Structure 1
Amino acid sequence: MHEVLEQIQKLGIVPVVKIDKLEDAKPLAQALIEGGLPCAEVTFRTNAAEEAIRIIASEFPDMLIGAGTVLTTGQVDRAVNAGARFIVSPGLNPKVVKYCMEKGIPVTPGCSNPSDIEQAIELGLEVVKFFPAEAAGGLNMIKAMSAPYVSMKFMPTGGITEKNILSYLDFPKVIACGGSWMVNETLLNNGEFDKIKALTKDAVMKMLGFELRHIGINAKNETEADGIASTFENLFGFAKNTGNASIFAGLGIEVMKVPYLGNHGHIAIAANYLERAVYHLESRGFHFDEATSKYDKGNKRTAVYLKEEIGGYAVHLIQK
């Protein structure tokens, strides 16, 4: 998969924006970046689209900017020359797809049925846009098409909202979702960039779904660990469960038999999608200790610690 699509997969959400006024381009991009989504698909449905892409690409060179509703090879050239790093189209036009692939430009054409998927496979694509997602059968349709086309991945767009996005992202063949609820036309036309920023942040937090899972206490030895766990059991009825390295009291207290990471212990935070969580936190300046990563039998990472301690506690993310 192209590195741009890999980045989109880590982001999880692609804001789909329709810009009518050039003066909105910079503050909109700033709001998306500060909200935690340094990415946008600017649709080629307005006269301002090309120049808006140019402004965003120039002002925010690290932002992943793409062009949507691209219908012709001429629009591909205009979009890429303006700074677009990926192309999205509502349907599958073989001429446009071939043109992009010849130039090494990642393209995700709209597909909504098996015939479209077979054309995409023939053209050498690994990822397509499923559009219009909800109207074309939603997640059930994606799952149905994934059965015979096992190697194809999807980026559903159209009808995706904060209410249904997790159901799409939970399906492993979905790399990301395109959505416009955080950048809807009314907010943009009214210049409500603070609200766009807040909605974008809410979208990211909902996607990542951070939850406190347990608190780890560093005991000096197994005897002390057992005593601490027993105290929680006696106080609150949190049943002890002894493991190789620690003793749990209920589900929320873990007492280490010997001191582990963190001056006082550790805090475990669960996330809906561990790799996306790592990507988003790293983009905000946090760092992870790769040596602490744990993997399941399928070589999927299930846990990793931050390098930084918080209040004397090590913090690790775990996959829900």
Structure 2
Amino acid sequence: MSNILDTISKIGIVPVIAIDKVEDAKPLAKALCDGGLPCAEVTFRTEAAAEAIKVMATEFPEMVVGAGTVLTTDQVDEAWEAGAKFIVSPGLNPKIVKYCVEKNIPIVPGCANPSDIEQAIEQGLKTVKFFPAEAAGGLNMLKAMSAPYNKMTFMPTGGINAKNIVEYLSFAPIIACGGSWMVDKAMINAKEFDKITELTKEAVKTMLGFEMKHVGINMPSEEEADKVASDFESLFGFHKKVGNSSIFAGSEVEVMKTPYLGANGHIAIATNFIERAMYHLEQKGYVFDMETAKYDAKGKLAAVYLKDEFGGFAIHLLQK
């Protein structure tokens, strides 16, 4: 179960889908994958759900396809046989949870209060769905409710959108959020799959929040590095700050005292979630050099370089 949830955590956003026509399953799955979210929670609110799961799981085996709104053990069997990799329910039904646990089927049941969470703990679960998230009090409610349960993690769903996704995901106990704003049912029925791809890309972009942090310039000596930094200070008022291996001019320019990675230097790109950013870039074929990884005082990844150079510059991600 943990492997599936680990992957979902790296993806960050779980598109929640209600699909009426099986014929839409394949192009919808392609739209999500092309947009950067190879994941879907197909809700058992329509007759097409099980067959849609089967099509997605078969045609796109790289996708993490799950079944949502699962209310009976028969639906658990139907979804699992169709190829679902995880089960989600709107509430915590002890019978369904026990059934899934005994069969080693990953399940994320809905919880909206401490009593639900304690039932989940009793069943041996480590992750639950906070639902309906916004209607149940939103992030403030989840922060207050989760405080006594420091080993429980959450997947909020219900009212999550582009405006609050980063705030939710910034709360450490949240592994991912479910949302439907990029896969609105009306768009699916209208076969607006190109629009779904674009909204999915925008969702990933919003989540990761890439932005230029600084440019590093390689210089052959400390003396020459100091001259370049001084020039930036004189030109633009970027205050010079001398460090052990480099001299910063403001926060925008880092001048290396001796050449470091990159023929010309490096570019630092900040991101909201560095490990999720790595996952999404790796899905596009980019490779990271983990020997360059740097960690903060708590052992969390803080920075890491890509292996390739771009225009003579090395690129590294930086946790905001």
Into which bin does the TM-score normalised by the smaller protein fall? over 0.9
Larger mean CA deviation between 292-301 and 141-150 belongs to 141-150
The one-letter code sitting in structure 2 at the alignment partner of 1:287 is V
Deviation digits for residues 255-307 of structure 1 (CA, Å, limit 9, x no counterpart): 00000000000000000000000011001100000000000111100000000
Distance in 1 between the 2:138 and 2:240 partners? 44
Distance in 1 between the 2:277 and 2:47 partners? 36
Alignment of 1:164-313 (within 5 A): 164-313=164-313
The one-letter code sitting in structure 2 at the alignment partner of 1:137 is G
Distance in 1 between the 2:105 and 2:221 partners? 58
Distance in 2 between the 1:163 and 1:147 partners? 25
The aligned counterpart of 1:41 is 41
Deviation digits for residues 140-185 of structure 1 (CA, Å, limit 9, x no counterpart): 1110111111111110000111011111101001110000000001
1:310 CA drift (Å): 0.3
Counterpart secondary structure, 1:129: strand
Counterpart secondary structure, 1:181: coil
Alignment of 1:75-90 (within 5 A): 75-90=75-90
The aligned counterpart of 1:25 is 25
Corresponding pairs, count: 320
Counterpart secondary structure, 1:225: helix
Q: Which segments of structure 1 move beyond 2 Å, counting only runs of 4 or more?
A: none
Distance in 2 between the 1:244 and 1:101 partners? 53
TM-score of the pair, normalised by structure 2 = 0.99
Distance in 1 between the 2:148 and 2:237 partners? 51
Q: Determine whether 1:319 maps to 2:319.
A: yes
Larger mean CA deviation between 1-10 and 305-314 belongs to 1-10
1:3 CA drift (Å): 0.6
The one-letter code sitting in structure 2 at the alignment partner of 1:52 is A
The CA RMSD over aligned residues, in Å, is 0.6
The aligned counterpart of 2:149 is 149
TM-score of the pair, normalised by structure 1 = 0.99
Counterpart secondary structure, 2:270: strand
The aligned counterpart of 1:5 is 5
Task: Give unmatched runs, 5+ long, in structure 2.
Answer: none
1:80 CA drift (Å): 0.6
Distance in 2 between the 1:235 and 1:59 partners? 57
Distance in 1 between the 2:139 and 2:232 partners? 44
The one-letter code sitting in structure 2 at the alignment partner of 1:91 is G
Distance in 1 between the 2:186 and 2:70 partners? 23
Counterpart secondary structure, 1:81: helix
Counterpart secondary structure, 1:124: coil
The one-letter code sitting in structure 2 at the alignment partner of 1:186 is A
The one-letter code sitting in structure 2 at the alignment partner of 1:302 is A
The aligned counterpart of 2:69 is 69
Distance in 1 between the 2:187 and 2:95 partners? 36
